Chains A and B, each alone.
Chain A
């Protein structure tokens, strides 16, 4: 497979994953703002931070107004990570690698682009936010479904999956990092309804609120949430799950090509480190420090994959 094609698949699925995660983030922020009432600019500021877009946002606006933030994250083409930009980039990568996609995957991607672009033509009205976010999640699920149902399990599929999980690991770690302070054990805050909402926002951003409740029998505790989102390998958006999948898919490439690259070493060691940690040791060393290291490792892994598989010249 061409290096360019491998790179195209990798980025196509990174951007699809990003668009879905951004939609979830908006969903969580929107809900928080609704439930709290009053001034929610602090909440929206943290949503912007999670999306890694503070400086881009502040160069265009000077206050964190809900409608503006939503517009910036969903449809601002000046924001390269907005849902609209992400879907556009995903689709142009799909065009680039059209020969490596089945007709089903290509058509699902093309339709996702057409329908999302259509729904984001005009600023989204408050009463439509829910439907638009549902559409974005649904369209990305259709692409994923087509991928699973129709693609050959070869290197192309591996690169698509690696892109997906690298992005997911990055996004989940960011969500935690922005909210890490609400997860720190602190006697003063325990039990307030504000905390409950903050915790719920974290879970909602990773689509884990229901699963968490089932697993814990309805008991919400900050450390438990951190453990669930970082270490629980049953949880499909957790760091442990994403890194496990990264190592697994890189392993398939290693088998397929008969070469072990540095990226495999890095993914395996990252995976082993996570498996060896408990939530207590993570908190002891500092949650923020842990997440900072993790984000740095994920970023280096992405760069190493690009080099190992010759995405560029």
Chain B
């Protein structure tokens, strides 16, 4: 299927001329010398190395810090395209927050029979400790990274709602910085909406969610598992750009009913903790007792309104892949509107009929683990060998409830610069949404991930994907 389909290309229309949003870029590109662009491309790598924008690969040598490959051809969206996406994302994020509040309080949606009760209460991502807890300002997901894919001019699908601790926003910012340095002339010709104020907006949004215990200007800190975490660069980058302290579990303790950090002048309370540590490691007294990354007692302080944790514990239930298929219902239930953005049709393998269908069509489908992420443990049917298919079939039959399946989407392509000039590669898009009690804020842009291998549909950096700068035009 993948070999014969004509994919929608972000840059070139059906007649191989540039689509509207790419018109100016195309004009510039045609006048450029490919050899010069290739040199620029190498410069970009040096730039990233020097800045230290690297990620650590688990299992690899500790000293091995890798770069995520960067491609210099931007992914461009028109202002009109963006505003439609923005409305759809806002709607979805509003629904997710209402859903989370409901599911941890009265559970109206279960009573109404719109979602099976078992799917929630027997789900590992559902946190019983959060029942009856209302986070400060009622915000559950302070930061959401919605993964979108495109299959046609007006066809966008939400692939995943990352409602726990979405990463990658530092690449959105650094990719733009790199482009500004390398191609200043492009930005004088084409009016691209800026993304550089994301950290300021993030700080403002987090501060607006400060708990009632906060006196004066909210103190914000970023909690990282430490320098060996694969996303450490991003943690330090965001803390730095926000002017917030970057803390680890051992810098924190409970002092007088607040979470306080050890400073050179003694312990100082924190109001908002932007944590980049998973739920289960947050508090060894409540969750995993062997966790060294969290703070003993933080959950009690949280329940008593002494600190804001962003995102709130237990938000994973909203981006669980088994819940995903109910998202259109969830949006409708809480907003009273039809979902603006489409969901990818999804077969829940826990359902015997669906399982039968999936096993029968395995070679055409994408099958994912319900709790998986990062492109690990998934099967791309059309790209899999007979042996891989057989092995996966066995796994699927053994634990059907652990999987969902989706049709192989004809992901749009966007050109990358190769030795031979431009060549189309599949892309997705992750915009970042900030939620405060009083507003939802979207930075015009996001992270475009690109599968660098010809024909590949997996864009994850852990699987050899790269990134591009994402432009939203001022139009």
Contacts and interface: CB of A to CB of B under 8 A. Distances in A.
Interface string B223-263: 00001000010001101100011111011000000000111
B264 A99 contact: no
Nearest to A310: B262
A190 to B, nearest CB: 51
Contacts of A110: 50-52
Which among A2, A96, A310 has the highest number of chain B CB atoms within 10 Å?
Answer: A2
Interface string A242-263: 0000000000000001010000
B217 interface: no
B262 A4 contact: yes
A98 B247 contact: no
Given A98-B246, A99-B236, A107 B264 contact: no
B52 A309 contact: no
Interface string A88-112: 0000100110110001001100110
B184 interface: no
Interface string B254-286: 000000011111100000000000000000000
A143 to B, nearest CB: 13
Contacts of B49: 114
Contacts, number: 57
A95 B264 contact: no
A98 B263 contact: no
A2 B264 contact: yes
A4 B247 CA distance: 9
B232 A95 contact: yes
Contact of A4 (B50, B236, B251): B251
Contacts of B264: 1-3, 6, 155, 257, 309-310
Contact of B248 (A4, A114, A155): A4
A313 interface: yes
Contact of A310 (B240, B244, B266): B266
Interface string A55-70: 0000000000000000
A95 B227 contact: yes
Nearest to A103: B51
A111 B262 contact: no
A3 B251 CA distance: 8
Interface string B60-99: 0000000000000000000000000000000000000000
Nearest to B250: A313
Nearest to A107: B50
Given A2-B251, A313-B250, A95 B236 contact: yes
B50 A99 contact: no
Nearest to B232: A95
B52 A99 contact: no
Which among B250, B251, B261, B265 has the highest number of chain A CB atoms within 10 Å?
Answer: B265
Given A3-B263, A110-B50, A313-B262, 14 more contacts: A1-B264, A2-B263, A2-B264, A4-B250, A6-B264, A92-B227, A99-B236, A99-B240, A106-B52, A107-B51, A110-B52, A114-B49, A310-B262, A313-B250
Interface of A: 1-6, 92, 95-96, 98-99, 103, 106-107, 110-111, 114, 155, 257, 259, 309-310, 313
3 cross-chain pairs, A with B, having the tightest CB-CB distances, nearest first: A98-B236, A99-B240, A309-B264
5 contacts: A5-B245, A98-B236, A98-B246, A99-B236, A309-B264
